[in-house]
A and B are shown apart, each in its own frame.
Chain A
Amino acid sequence: MSLLLDSLAWLLMIFGLLFFITGALGLIRFPDIYSRLHAVTKTDTLGLGLLAAGLAIKSESVSTALLLLFIWLLVLASGAVSCQLLARYSLESDPAATGISEHIPGESDDR
C-alpha cells in the first residue's frame, strides 16, 4: 500500500515537472505574448497541481495536504487573473499586433 502510494506520488510529481518543462519551453520558444501566456498558465495550474498532489501524498499528513491544496488554489486563481490582466492589457494597448483585433473577449467567453 505504501509502495503504491509512494509510486503514485512520484508519478504525479514527475508529470507535474513535465508540465513545468513544457511551460518553460513554451515561454522561450513561442512567438507572441498570448501563446506564451497559454504555455505558462498550464504550468501554474496543472503542473503545480500535480506537484502539490504528489507532495500531499508524500507528506502523509492531512493538515499539510490541506495547506498544499490551499496554496495551489491561491496560485491557480492569481495565475488565471494575472494572465487575463496581461492579455487584456496587451490587447488594448496594441490590438494591431495580433490577428484578433476586431474582438476583445468579453467576460462570458473568456477561457
Chain B
Amino acid sequence: MSLMIVDFVPDLILAFLVICMAWGAMHARSRHDAMAMFVAFGLVVALIWARLGAPDLALAEAAIGAGLTGVLLLQAARQIPAEPRTMKKTTVQFILPLVFIVLAIALFASQLFSDDALNISEQARIRPDVGLSAPSMSDRVHLAMPDSGVGHPVTAVLLNFRAWDTLLELLVLLLALSGLRQLYPSSQSAQKKSDGPLVRGPEPWPLLLAWSRFLAPLLIVMGGYLLWRGADAPGGAFQAGALLAAAAVVLRLAGLLPALRWSSLTVRLAINVGALLFMTVAALTLYFGAGWLHYPAAQAGILILGIEVFATLSIAITLTLLVIGEYEDLHT
C-alpha cells in the first residue's frame, strides 16, 4: 500500500502543477507572464502524457502545444499593442473556475467509485486477459495490425484505420495558413506605421551562426529519425514536421536561410503536396480498391510511408511560414 502511494507522488505533483500553471496562465499579471505560464503548462501536460504511457501525444504536445504555440503567441503579442489590463476581477471570475474544478473532481470520483468501475476492475481481476471491457477498441486495433502495413498501433490508427481524420488535420493546417494570409494586409499597415521591421533579426553574430549551423543538421536528422521510427514506435509526420520547422526557423532567424516566399511555386507546392498526395491516394483507393482510404494490405506500408514523408514536408513548411514567413512575404 505504501509503495502505491509512492508511485502516486509524481502524478499528484504533476496534477497539482498543471492546475497551478493553468491558473497562472489565466491570472498572470502581464501578457508575457501568461504566455510563459502557458508554455510551462504545455510542458507539464506533455509530462503527464508521458506518465500515462502515451509518448506520441507527449511528443506532439511538447513540440506543437508548448513550443510552436508559444512562439506563435509571442509573435502575435508583438503585433498587438499592450493594453493596460484591469486587475479587478469580479468574484464570479474567481469562483467559476473553482466550481468547475470541484465539479470535475466530483465527477471523476463518482466514476471511480461507481458500480461500473468496480465491476470492470472485478472483471479485469478475474479475467486479466480480457482487459477492461470485452471487445475494446484496442483489441480491435491489435487484431487488425497485421494488415495495417506498420508496426506501431498509434501510427496504424492515424494513417490507416482513421486516415480520414489525419487528412482533415492536414487540411486544417492549410486553412490556418490561408487564414493567416488573409490577415496580412492589416499587419502590413501596422508595419508601415511603426516604420521598421517587426521581426528584429539578431545581427549575424558568430556564436549564433555557429550554433545554428550545428543545430540545424541535428534537427533534420532527428526529424528524419522520428519520421522513420513512426512506423514502429512513437513518432510520425507531425512531430518530424515540427522539428524540421524548428530547424528552418533557427536558420532563418540567424539569417542563413533565404525568405520562404508564398509567391514561389516550390513553396506553394511543398505546402500542398502532403494533402494532395493524401487525397490522390484516397481517390485511387476509391476507384480501384476497396474504398475511400482503404489501402490494399500488401501496399499499405509503402503508401503510408509516402504519405508521411510528403506530409512531413508540408507540415514543416506550413509551420515555418506560420512562424516566420509573414514579413518578407508582404512585399511580393
Q: Residue A85 contacts which of B206, B208, B218 (CB distance < 8 angstroms)?
A: B208
Q: Which residues of chain A in 7-38 are interfacial with respect to chain B, using CB atoms and an 8 Å cutoff?
A: none
Q: Which residues of chain B in 73-99 are interfacial with respect to chain A, using CB atoms and an 8 Å cutoff?
A: none
B215→A88 contact, CB < 8 A: no
User: How far, in whole Å, are A101 and B146 apart by their CA atoms in the complex?
Assistant: 67
**Per-residue interface assignment for chain B, residues 202 to 246, with 1 indicating a CB less than 8 Å from any chain A CB and 0 otherwise:** 100111100100110010000000000000000000000000000
A-chain residues with CB within 8 Å of residue B215 when the two chains form the complex: 78
Decide if the interface of chain B is mainly helix, strand, loop or mixed: helix
B234–chain A nearest beta-carbon distance, Å: 16
Chain B interface bracket (under 10, 10 to 19, 20 to 34, 35 or more): under 10
A-chain residues with CB within 8 Å of residue B206 when the two chains form the complex: 107
B-chain residues with CB within 8 Å of residue A85 when the two chains form the complex: 202, 205, 208
B9–chain A nearest beta-carbon distance, Å: 15
User: How far, in whole Å, are A81 and B213 apart by their CA atoms in the complex?
Assistant: 13
A41 interface contact, C-beta 8 A: no
A88→B211 contact, CB < 8 A: no
User: How far, in whole Å, are A18 and B324 apart by their CA atoms in the complex?
Assistant: 38
B211→A78 contact, CB < 8 A: yes
A77→B202 contact, CB < 8 A: no
B-chain residues with CB within 8 Å of residue A81 when the two chains form the complex: 207-208, 211
User: How far, in whole Å, are A81 and B296 apart by their CA atoms in the complex?
Assistant: 50
B-chain residues with CB within 8 Å of residue A77 when the two chains form the complex: 211, 214
**Per-residue interface assignment for chain A, residues 66 to 109, with 1 indicating a CB less than 8 Å from any chain B CB and 0 otherwise:** 00000000100110010011001100000000000000000100
B-chain residues with CB within 8 Å of residue A84 when the two chains form the complex: 207-208
**Per-residue interface assignment for chain B, residues 260 to 281, with 1 indicating a CB less than 8 Å from any chain A CB and 0 otherwise:** 0000000000000000000000
A-chain residues with CB within 8 Å of residue B211 when the two chains form the complex: 77-78, 81
A28–chain B nearest beta-carbon distance, Å: 12
A87–chain B nearest beta-carbon distance, Å: 12
User: How far, in whole Å, are A78 and B250 apart by their CA atoms in the complex?
Assistant: 12
Closest to B214 in A: A77
Nearest 9 A/B pairs, CB to CB: A81-B211, A107-B206, A81-B207, A85-B202, A81-B208, A84-B207, A77-B211, A85-B208, A89-B202
Instruction: Give A contacts to B, CB under 8 Å.
Output: 74, 77-78, 81, 84-85, 88-89, 107
